[in-house]
Amino acid sequence: MALTHEFSRRRLLAGAAAFGGGLLLPGKAPAYGGAKPFSGVTLNVSTFNAPFARILTKWLPEFEEATGARVVYDTPAFPVYNQRADLELSTGGAAYDVLNITFIYSSRWIGAGWFTPLDDYIRDANRTPADWDVEDFLPGLRAPESDKAGRLYGVPWTVDTFISGASRFDLFKNAGLGLPDTTDELVTALKAVHGKEKVAGFVTDNHYGWTFVPFLQAFGGNVFRNPPDDLTPVLDTPEVVAAAEYFARILKEFGPNGVLSYTEDQALQALQNGRANYSAIGQTYLSQVGGPNSKTASTVAYSPVVRGPAGRFPGVATHGLGIPAASKNKDAAWAFIQWALSKKNTRRAIVEERYASPTRRSDFESAEFKRIATVNGYDLSEIIASAVDLAARQGHMKYRTVPVYPQVDQQLNKAIANIVSGQLSPKQAIEQAQAGSITDLRRAGVAI
């Protein structure tokens, strides 16, 4: 990549010391003796386009100047990235040295042996200083980037958690209510606030394979019998039917007109413009309701996703930087990952760029992150970190990283749409989703 920023090595090292990060660039590692170890190396990196990727792109000249490597950083849109990466990895191509390990593909890509285990790099003092501290990354985010033996393949760089919030919490307070904590309390609250001042009570996005599952699990259901070992779909249970009936009801009775067509962006706009009130959706969207462009920034309130009869099951998704097995520049690739996700740079992203999706516990607990994550008086850092820790303890996100979840995801999308539109009863729609999932999984070679 062409240099766009003038680099000051002294300033960089001084900054590292100030953050207590110690070694941040491989050029200072003992094996390299402070020289530029990767002069002449072209490092090909690709992730999907996202805030942290854009931040790293700005800082690349620093890495290039310190190591001598030239970095070509490609950031296509999310679906394009996944198609390209899957094709490249499945054919054993060596075009990339660092790739994002996408959450929903992590089991497929890691299980197939398409990425390099990072443990040897992390344990090697000549390659990684002790204070780089892999244990600082939240365990719940490292788990999906690891194999069954616990070997780490991707270092988490972003997280999205399923949280709840009310853009017009003033209407809740006028009704004498706080934010709901249970599925029953949510219905009670929506009955009280729906239609007040022409504001719809509830909205979420129409990717129901993501937004419905926390309710499905809260009612005691699951997607597979025992993922990843037993991928038999278990959608046709009374618990899943009850959850589908509940979820479709709050969409149908309390959603805005055309709620089935709402994407994440449209749901966010409805919340920001005060056309919809309560939502359960990813934190990267819901946090923006408290942003400077929102008409409801002064009335928004936040809480964890509601719990049901079986408990609380917030969705958690993460993505990690990894090294393809076929890469010809693995040492340089690890140096890049280590630099990109050093304590110094992850904290710097928060301080200088207001990065809102850190993955290190030390960042979550920092005063700097709490300052930007406190929205209208609500500390989102605690809600997010608690959701990640809960997912790690319960293991309820295992359903989402199995290779065949995308097929079931589509079945759930259709099921909820059919119920809300009145085309099928909850029982009929869920039975159809179960049968369709079994057919799709058998076609994919899953023994059921």
> If you write DSSP's letter for every residue of 224-279 in order, what string do you get?
EEETTTEEEE---SHHHHHHHHHHHHHHHHHSPTTGGG--HHHHHHHHHTTSEEEE
The first and second tokens of residue 234, run together, are 């278990």
CA distances from 321 to 47, 82, 99, 179, 259 (A): 8, 14, 6, 37, 36
The first and second tokens of residue 76, run together, are 């296509």
Q: How far is 417 from 413, CA to CA, in rounded Å?
A: 6
Q: Could you tell me which residues come within 8 angstroms of residue 271 by beta carbon, excluding any fewer than 6 positions away?
A: 165, 167, 203, 277, 279, 286, 289, 294, 296, 300
Coil, strand or helix at 181: coil
Query: Are the beta carbons of 187 and 262 closer than 8 angstroms?
Result: no
The first and second tokens of residue 278, run together, are 């309560």
CA distances from 118 to 322, 336, 401 (A): 8, 13, 19
Tell me which residue of 342, 263, 437, 383 sits closest to 59, measured CA to CA: 342
Tell me which residue of 277, 273, 282 sits closest to 250, measured CA to CA: 277
**What's the number of CA atoms in the CB half-sphere (13 Å) around residue 73?**
28
Query: Are the beta carbons of 22 and 131 closer than 8 angstroms?
Result: yes
Count of beta carbons in the 10 Å neighbourhood of residue 120: 12
Tens digit of pLDDT for each residue in 160-205? 999 999 999 999 999 999 999 999 999 999 999 999 999 999 999 9
The first and second tokens of residue 108, run together, are 């497929």
Q: Could you tell me which residues come within 8 angstroms of residue 334 by beta carbon, excluding any fewer than 6 positions away?
A: 26, 118, 121, 127, 128, 323
The first and second tokens of residue 277, run together, are 């009130």
Q: How far is 91 from 88, CA to CA, in rounded Å?
A: 5
Query: Are the beta carbons of 313 and 305 closer than 8 angstroms?
Result: yes
103: left (phi over 0), alpha (psi -120 to 50) or beta: alpha
Q: How far is 264 from 269, CA to CA, in rounded Å?
A: 9
Query: Are the beta carbons of 159 and 140 closer than 8 angstroms?
Result: no
The first and second tokens of residue 383, run together, are 């809600």
Q: How far is 215 from 212, CA to CA, in rounded Å?
A: 6
pTM of the shown model:
0.81
The first and second tokens of residue 412, run together, are 């759930």
DSSP H helices in 112-198: 119-123, 139-142, 169-174, 183-193
pLDDT of residue 216: 98
Low-confidence ranges of the chain (pLDDT < 50): 1-32
pLDDT of residue 34: 59
Amino acid at 262: Y
Count of beta carbons in the 10 Å neighbourhood of residue 125: 11
pLDDT of residue 271: 98
Q: Tell me, rounded to whole angstroms, the distance of Cα 415 from its chain centroid.
A: 24
Amino acid at 107: S
